Amino acid sequence: MCGRYTLTADAESIQQAFHLDEVDGWGMPRFNIAPTQLVPVITDREPKRLSFMKWGLVPSWAKDPKIGSRMINARSETAAEKPSFRRAFKRRRCLIPADGYYEWTKRGKQKIPMYIQHAERELFALAGLWESWKGADETRLQTCAILTTEANEKVRPIHHRMAVIIEPEDYGAWLAPRELAPPEWQPLMIGPRPEQLTFREVSTAVNSPANDNPRLVERVGAPAQGSLF
Which pLDDT tens digit goes with each residue over 56-94? 999 999 999 999 999 999 999 999 999 999 999 999 999
Domain tally, the chain: 1
Burial (0-12, 13-18, 19+ Cβ within 10 Å), 212: middle
Annotated catalytic, 103? Answer: yes
The predicted model scores a pTM of 0.94
In a domain, 229, yes or no: no
In a domain, 223, yes or no: no
Annotated catalytic, 218? Answer: no
In a domain, 19, yes or no: yes
In a domain, 228, yes or no: no
In a domain, 212, yes or no: yes
In a domain, 222, yes or no: no
Whether 224 shows a pLDDT value over 60: the answer reads: no
158 closest CA partner among 104, 98, 216: 104
Which pairing describes strands 51-55 and 140-150: parallel, antiparallel, or unpaired?
parallel
Q: How do residues 95-141 score in pLDDT, each as one tens digit?
A: 999 999 999 999 888 999 999 999 999 999 999 999 999 888 888 99
For residue 26, the domain's CATH number is 3.90.1680.10
Domain that holds residue 120: 4-217
Q: Which of 12, 22, 103, 169 is catalytic?
A: 103
Q: What angle do CA 208, 219, 190 make, to 5 degrees?
A: 80
What is the per-residue pLDDT for 191? Answer: 77
Q: What angle do CA 88, 92, 98 make, to 5 degrees?
A: 105
What is the per-residue pLDDT for 113? Answer: 97
Q: How do residues 140-185 score in pLDDT, each as one tens digit?
A: 999 999 999 999 999 999 999 999 999 999 999 999 999 999 999 9
In a domain, 225, yes or no: no
In a domain, 227, yes or no: no
Whether 186 shows a pLDDT value over 90: the answer reads: yes
